[in-house]
Structure 1
Amino acid sequence: MHTTLLLLMFFVLSIIFGIILRRLLQNTAIPYSVALLLLGMLIGSLLDIELQTPIFHEVKAAFSLASQLDANLIMFIFLPALVFESAFSLEVHLFKRMLSQIALLAIPGLIICTLFTAALSLWVLPWQWSLPTALMFGAIVSATDPVAVVSLLKEMCSRARLQTLIEGESLLNDGTAIVLFTLFLTLATQIEPEFNTFEVIFEFMRVVSIGVVIGAVVAVVSLKFISSLFNDSLIEIALTLVLPYVVFYTSEHIFHASGVVSVVTLALIYAGPGRTRFSPEVMEHLHHFWHTLSFLFNTLIFILVGLVVSTRLGVTDLANWQYLMVIFAGVLVIRTIAVVGLMPVLARIGIGLTKEKSIVLIWGGLRGAVSLALALIVATNESLDIQLRDQILFLTAGIVVLTIIVNGSSMRFVMAKLGLDKLPKAKQQTLAKVQDKVSDEIIKVRESLQVDPNLKAVNWPLVDKNIIAIASPYKNEEEIDTQVEYLRKLLESERQFYWNQFSKGLLGTSATQILVQAIEKSLDGTPKIWPRPYIESHWKMPTWIDRMQSLPLFGSYARSFGYKQHVIVFESARGLFEASEYILSIAPSLSLEPSQLEKAIKQTKLVNEFAIAALDGFRQKSPHLVERVESYLALRILLNTERKKIQELAHEGMISEVDAEKLIEEVEFKMHESKKKNK
């Protein structure tokens, strides 16, 4: 069978196996990634069996071919997409707050681990490895793998800050690891290697900085193009799929920089300031697309790693197994030393770090496909001794398998012992209020169902046993200081309100950016609903607008710019007013104590009054613009309403999908034209 068809068969069968495995693992404590790795190893071990059937022969050929894929091909196919999806799903505001901690772990932390691992390797293998070889091996096995770590955390971690810290470290430390690996591989292949510390530092700075620049430039240029589109989901989603590969290839092959850093930069800009550049209607489809692609690629890569480990290593001597056990234990100890050594700094920067979370940080340092791909690159380098290459591949693969199986499978137990498998008590009590609201709604619906003539035979005791008992068990616990958590929840609800308004087309790009950014400023440190200095600073009209309006060349530009600023002020003030009204309506239902509610209501009313004053001020100071601005906003709201109603009628079967698409195209053309006229 043709090679392409064999690879297609591998892809299809792996996804089918993954679907079956995921279904079997539901309601179990076994991580999906661990099970996939073991499945891949099992399949690899069965490839030696001989059966005289055409189907088995073709399946065997497909998986054998996949196990022989080039290491660079593995990295270039899977890594860009998986890194992009992970970074794109991060909460950018939280990532920025924790960047100092993430950078400390990803750069000095990895360097410490590399040096200690190299020293351990020379001690365990004193007569076989040179210093450059040991340093190269240290760089390979010290980087926590974004694919393995992210896959594990998404299955079991409900702590956003802890997940962001571990995930952020695994995303960024590959830049450090790959540049160190490249340098030490070059030294290891030289007859008389020369080590220059200054060159190492310069090369690292060059690789990272160029990677950031490439990712940022591509993000800015592509967002400029995306902002010119209007609800074209095919183009917008296709761009997010293609561009991670573009920046990865450009960085790695053209500029010899860090492709991972470029992809992370691109994704963070898209998820942060670039989010409002995408069409509001596309964002939900975009996240669904990347969530599905992540599942497919994770399934393939973990099965592939298992295949490579079981088919390429073969039987090795007892000494290598002994070396593996010693080095694996040493790697765990070395990561502990690095995290504990950096703990005094980690606890004082970013958002801090507790003892319990540091233990999870240590235990969550899984190695995966990136380490194995680097080891495979070494294994194919004929400048090195064949026994050395095989030994590095064996040790790396062993550490990858052991960290995923031992650390990965026990992570749930570790988190449970540390009390990190549940939400903090303050969040639990806030969640209890939400559950109470759900219970109240269920009781109302239950009462209406009891009098439904078509539901006379319902076994209500059986139904109540599964539904009514939804009230939270944390109601009667000792009193906890939940003021901070309560204010944070209100601010997060307000932020989500803005995003919902934006997704419905009821709030513009610039207004959404101002309002969301103001919320994120308020969330920094101790959360506070009032004041909103960020909004005030962005509502001030530049003084040059009035001075330049009378100039012949610049007057039209100044008037156009001034009009845009007035639209932004009016629209964001209106959004702020509606959001404050919404927060006033939900604040009582989330409050745990009267004092909390009183303080939140007082601050929210100040926000409300601030928004009303801005709207009144706009009408008084710019009466000549009121009609134009309000007419534009009213038209946009009505056109969005028209589009939504057409979609609802199509969903209900009142009109065909084809007719609905034509009507929606007409509405969106009007929306696009009104947007161009008011730019």
Structure 2
Amino acid sequence: MLDIVATCLVITALLAYLNQRFVGLPTTIGVMAAALVFSLTLVGLDALGIEHRLWRFEKSLLLSIDFADVLMEGMLSLLLFAGALHVNLSELKAYRLPVAALAVLGTLLSTLLVGFGMYLALPLAGIELPLIYCLIFGAVISPTDPIAVMGILKSARAPKALELVIVGESLFNDGVAVVIFSLLMGMMASGLAPTLGESLDLLVHEAGGGLLFGLVLGYVTFRLLKTVDCYQVGVLLSLATVTGGYALANKLDVSGPLAMVVAGLIIGNHGRTLAMSETTRQYVDMFWELIDEILNATLFVLIGMEVVLVLFSANLLVAGGIAIGVTLLARLLTAGLPVAALRRVFKLPPGAWKVLTWGGLRGGVSVALALSLPAGQERDTVVALTYCVVVFSILVQGLSIGHLTRKTVLCR
């Protein structure tokens, strides 16, 4: 395990250095692009019959990593807590309507639209995928990832309201998507569609329980922080809250992602202002900013490298293009158009609907959920489709969202 961690960190550090020194792209996008180009080069050489030790080494490295387990049981809790820690709760409350609508209703509707859309469109590419797997793909690809886009929005000086809505939606829709994914996986295993009561019970238990557990966890940590004035202890308490809290949430069968978001909001707001000295605040902020940057960079490198394990064919590449179109259309219908129609209710600037639509990037959570499916041809299809959408959203949408923001929002 130590060798694997060391190897991943060395590769990430080298790619981050090369990007910063010679390319200059945003770190997460740059390291992923570099890893993707390098991996595709090795795949191409192998396809030409030119065997290379690097290709065999990369493949063996990735096979030794359970990507779904590493992200869902490790990285995700730290990333969500770090993201929530720096969100101003009072400002977020002002936009609770659009955030709740996009994170809950938007994710659910997106799952249905993408699922049924892919079920109808995939035969055009010569691929048959059962409806349940199409719906699972819809749940997999619906949660958005703000990691790559937030730095670009800040550099483009996007309105604060727009940043808050994008961050708030992405923090909460991860947990909602995981609940929907679990529900669909249970349906596939049993072969029976759950009743409305059973679905609501699961939603209340996992999502509601996660929110309540996060509230208790955050409050307990806040009270502990208030009784000490030592930055070392403060950092340790925050780290223990995330690692121990996420593990306990899984034991309680409540949503760990939602619990981490709520705990992060409490500690980042009430804890920062009422329970930490200036020195403790500085160290806690710096610690979690570093954790956030390191894990994000490593995650995106792994996403770029995973291409060597994805089984592609000509039909799957065509289907990947269809999946990109269906996903963007679903994003437009579930986020863009509602915001455009209810802009005054959502209190967002003109043109925000375009940024919300195009800025709905997909990332590590989607890849991890796809890889967690049981082995089989259907899993390979879903993984390939997910990979196409994720790579497109990060490289194409991520690199153009800044220009779109400046053009559509700031010029008004």
TM-score of the superposition, structure 2-length normalised? 0.90
Conserved 8 A contact 1:120-1:330: yes
Counterpart mapping for 1:454-465 below 5 A: none
Alignment of 1:218 with 2:214, yes or no, is no
Q: By how many angstroms is 1:303 displaced?
A: 0.3
| Matching residue's letter, 1:38 | A
Secondary structure at the aligned position of 1:213 is classed as: helix
User: Counterparts of 1:341 and 1:243 in 2: how far apart (Å)?
Assistant: 39
Alignment of 1:91 with 2:88, yes or no, is yes
1:478 aligned partner: none
| Matching residue's letter, 1:91 | N
2:197 aligned partner: 198
Secondary structure at the aligned position of 1:274 is classed as: helix
**1:145-168 deviation per Cα after TM superposition (whole angstroms, max 9, x unaligned):** 244444554554443211111011
Indicate which of 106, 113, 125 corresponds to 1:109.
Answer: 106
Residues 155, 393 of structure 1: alpha-carbon distance in 2 compared, 3 angstrom cutoff: farther
Secondary structure at the aligned position of 1:354 is classed as: coil
Alignment of 1:123 with 2:113, yes or no, is no
Alignment of 1:331 with 2:321, yes or no, is no
User: Counterparts of 2:54 and 2:5 in 1: how far apart (Å)?
Assistant: 11
Indicate which of 61, 66, 77 corresponds to 2:57.
Answer: 61
1:183 aligned partner: 183
User: Counterparts of 1:200 and 1:104 in 2: how far apart (Å)?
Assistant: 19
| Matching residue's letter, 1:355 | P
User: Counterparts of 1:415 and 1:291 in 2: how far apart (Å)?
Assistant: 25
Residues 419, 104 of structure 1: alpha-carbon distance in 2 compared, 3 angstrom cutoff: closer
2:49 aligned partner: none
1:354 aligned partner: 349
Secondary structure at the aligned position of 1:229 is classed as: coil
1:501 aligned partner: none
1:72 aligned partner: 69
User: Counterparts of 1:166 and 1:213 in 2: how far apart (Å)?
Assistant: 23
User: Counterparts of 1:323 and 1:145 in 2: how far apart (Å)?
Assistant: 23
Alignment of 1:410 with 2:385, yes or no, is no
**1:472-494 deviation per Cα after TM superposition (whole angstroms, max 9, x unaligned):** xxxxxxxxxxxxxxxxxxxxxxx
User: Counterparts of 2:354 and 2:213 in 1: how far apart (Å)?
Assistant: 35
| Matching residue's letter, 1:327 | A
User: Counterparts of 2:4 and 2:256 in 1: how far apart (Å)?
Assistant: 29
| Matching residue's letter, 1:325 | G
User: Counterparts of 2:63 and 2:388 in 1: how far apart (Å)?
Assistant: 16
Secondary structure at the aligned position of 1:335 is classed as: helix
Q: By how many angstroms is 1:328 displaced?
A: 0.7
Alignment of 1:207 with 2:191, yes or no, is no
Name stretches of at least 5 consecutive residues in structure 1 with no aligned partner. Answer: 51-55, 425-679
Alignment of 1:389 with 2:379, yes or no, is yes
1:399 aligned partner: 389
Q: By how many angstroms is 1:62 displaced?
A: 6.5
- Report the aligned-residue RMSD: 2.4
| Matching residue's letter, 2:168 | G
Counterpart mapping for 1:578-617 below 5 A: none
More helix by share: 2
TM-score of the superposition, structure 1-length normalised? 0.56
1:318 aligned partner: 314
User: Counterparts of 1:198 and 1:147 in 2: how far apart (Å)?
Assistant: 35
Secondary structure at the aligned position of 2:270 is classed as: coil
1:164 aligned partner: 164
Secondary structure at the aligned position of 1:106 is classed as: helix
Q: By how many angstroms is 1:61 displaced?
A: 3.3
**1:166-188 deviation per Cα after TM superposition (whole angstroms, max 9, x unaligned):** 01101111121111111111222
Ranked by relative contact order (alpha carbons within 8 Å, sequence separation 6 or more), the top structure is 2
| Matching residue's letter, 1:321 | L
Conserved 8 A contact 1:210-1:257: yes
**1:583-636 deviation per Cα after TM superposition (whole angstroms, max 9, x unaligned):** xxxxxxxxxxxxxxxxxxxxxxxxxxxxxxxxxxxxxxxxxxxxxxxxxxxxxx
User: Counterparts of 2:56 and 2:128 in 1: how far apart (Å)?
Assistant: 37
1:633 aligned partner: none
Secondary structure at the aligned position of 2:128 is classed as: coil
Indicate which of 375, 379, 383 corresponds to 2:370.
Answer: 375
Residues 346, 287 of structure 1: alpha-carbon distance in 2 compared, 3 angstrom cutoff: farther
User: Counterparts of 1:146 and 1:196 in 2: how far apart (Å)?
Assistant: 34
Conserved 8 A contact 2:39-2:304: yes
Residues 100, 7 of structure 1: alpha-carbon distance in 2 compared, 3 angstrom cutoff: same
Q: By how many angstroms is 1:344 displaced?
A: 6.6
1:515 aligned partner: none
1:585 aligned partner: none
Q: By how many angstroms is 1:335 displaced?
A: 0.9
Residues 63, 122 of structure 1: alpha-carbon distance in 2 compared, 3 angstrom cutoff: closer
Counterpart mapping for 1:461-610 below 5 A: none
1:604 aligned partner: none
Indicate which of 223, 242, 260 corresponds to 1:263.
Answer: 260
Secondary structure at the aligned position of 1:44 is classed as: helix
| Matching residue's letter, 2:92 | F
Conserved 8 A contact 2:59-2:309: no
1:144 aligned partner: 144
Which structure has the larger Rg? 1
Conserved 8 A contact 2:143-2:170: yes
Conserved 8 A contact 2:81-2:242: yes
User: Counterparts of 2:285 and 2:83 in 1: how far apart (Å)?
Assistant: 11
User: Counterparts of 1:90 and 1:387 in 2: how far apart (Å)?
Assistant: 41
Aligned pair count reads 401
Q: By how many angstroms is 1:391 displaced?
A: 0.4
User: Counterparts of 1:217 and 1:416 in 2: how far apart (Å)?
Assistant: 41
Counterpart mapping for 1:17-56 below 5 A: 17-26=15-24, 30-47=25-42
User: Counterparts of 1:291 and 1:272 in 2: how far apart (Å)?
Assistant: 16
| Matching residue's letter, 2:34 | L
Q: By how many angstroms is 1:203 displaced?
A: 1.4
User: Counterparts of 2:219 and 2:105 in 1: how far apart (Å)?
Assistant: 30
User: Counterparts of 2:317 and 2:42 in 1: how far apart (Å)?
Assistant: 23
User: Counterparts of 1:387 and 1:302 in 2: how far apart (Å)?
Assistant: 26
1:294 aligned partner: 292
Conserved 8 A contact 2:214-2:260: yes
| Matching residue's letter, 2:10 | V
Residues 263, 154 of structure 1: alpha-carbon distance in 2 compared, 3 angstrom cutoff: farther
Q: By how many angstroms is 1:245 displaced?
A: 2.1
User: Counterparts of 1:342 and 1:406 in 2: how far apart (Å)?
Assistant: 24
